[in-house]
Amino acid sequence: MSEQATDDKAISEQAISEQAINEQPRRKWVPQVAPDGLLLVDKDQGFTSHNAVALCRRILQTKKVGHCGTLDPMATGMLLVVLGKATKLQDALMCEHKYYSATMKLGIETNSQDADGETVAEKSTEGVTEDAIRAAFEHYLGAFDQVPPMFSAVKINGVPCYKLARKGLEIERKARHVKVHSYEISRIDLEAAEVDFSIHTTKGFYVRTYAHDIGQMLGCGAHLTALRRTQSGQFDLSQAIDVPTLKACTPDELRARIIPMDELQRKIAAAAAADPTS
C-alpha cells in the first residue's frame, strides 16, 4: 500500500513474521562492522519491510540496517535497504520518484483502501463507463493534495494513525502535496470491475488512496487489490535480489550484492541534478 505510494500500512509492520525470518539458518551472533551501501530487494507479498531489514541484520550480524520507504505487506517490488554509513542517505533516497504497477477493484471500499482491509461499502458499478474511468485518471494527473489513509504511520499528536484506526477512530489528517507525473491504463474490464494501471509519482504518495479517490469520483468506490513498486529513483527491479535468494545468502554473497557508497552518492547527485524540483 508502501504503496509512499509508499504506499506503508504500519499496523502490519508491528508483528514481524518469525516464520519468514527463521527460514534463514540461525548463526551465533558475533557483531560485525556493517558494510556501507545499498541493497535492492524485490519484496514478496506478505513479507514485510521490517522482515527484510531483520533478515539482513541476521545474515550480516550487524544492527546498522534500515529501509527507505515502507511497502505494505500486500505490495511487492522494490525496497531499498541501507546499511552502515548509507543509513545517513535515507532522506535523499526517499525523496526520489517512485514507479508502480497496480490493480484496482471498482464497487468495493475497504477501511484500509486495499485488499487487506475490511469491506465497509459495496456499490453497483452499473453505468460506470470506460470514458468515465479515463476521465477520473486524467483528473488526478499533475499536482494535487492527498489525504493519507487512517491505516498509515502518519502521526497525529505523536500517535500513529493506524493505532487510532484499530480503535475505530477516524481523525482528521493534514493533506500532503503530491504529484502524478504520468500514468498509463493497461486494462479496463467493466464486467470484472477492474482496472490495471502504472503510475509515476513523487515521494509520500499513497497509491491505495489514489485508487480510493478515483472510486469516489466515479461514484462507486474502489480499493487496491495489487501493488508492485517497479522502480525507485534510478534503481529498478533488474538490479534487485528476490526474497528466496536473500534468505539463502551467505554473508559474503550478500555483501557482493551491495551497491557501494561512492556509486550510490554519484547516483543520488545525478538524480538531484536531473530533477532538482522533484
Strands 37-43 and 241-242, bridge-based pairing:
parallel
Active-site residue among 7, 36, 44, 72?
A: 72
In angstroms, the CA 236 to CA 78 distance is: 7
Q: With contact defined as beta carbons under 8 Å apart, do 15 and 49 qualify?
A: no
- 131 included as an active-site residue: no
15 contacts: CB under 8 Å, gap ≥ 6:
none
How many Å from the N-terminal Cα to the C-terminal Cα in the chain?
Answer: 22
Alpha-carbon radius of gyration of the chain: 19
User: For the whole model, what pTM was predicted?
Assistant: 0.86
Whose CA is closest to 108, among 190, 194, 210, 228?
A: 194
Fold of 98-231: Pseudouridine synthase (3.30.2350)
* Grid cell listed for 108: 468495493
Domain edges within the chain = 10-96+234-274, 98-231
| pLDDT in the model for residue 262 | 94
Q: Cα dist. 7→34, 79, 260 in Å?
A: 28, 11, 27
242 contacts: CB under 8 Å, gap ≥ 6:
41, 42, 44
Q: SS3 string of 45-114?
A: CCCCHHHHHHHHHHHHCCCCEEECCCCCCCCEEEEEEEEHHHHHHHHHHHCCCEEEEEEEEECEEECCCE
37 contacts: CB under 8 Å, gap ≥ 6:
82, 83, 84, 86, 258, 259, 260, 261, 264
49 contacts: CB under 8 Å, gap ≥ 6:
2, 8, 13, 43, 67, 70, 71, 79
Task: Give the length of the chain.
Answer: 278
Q: Which residues of the chain have pLDDT under 50?
A: 1-16, 18
Query: The cell 468495493 sits on which residue?
Result: 108
What confidence tens digit (pLDDT) does each residue in 174-218 have?
899 999 999 999 999 999 999 999 999 999 999 999 999 999 999
Cβ atoms within 10 Å of 135's Cβ, excluding its own: 12
* Grid cell listed for 3: 504503496
| pLDDT in the model for residue 23 | 56
Q: At what angle do helices 130-139 and 207-218 cross, to 10 degrees?
A: 130
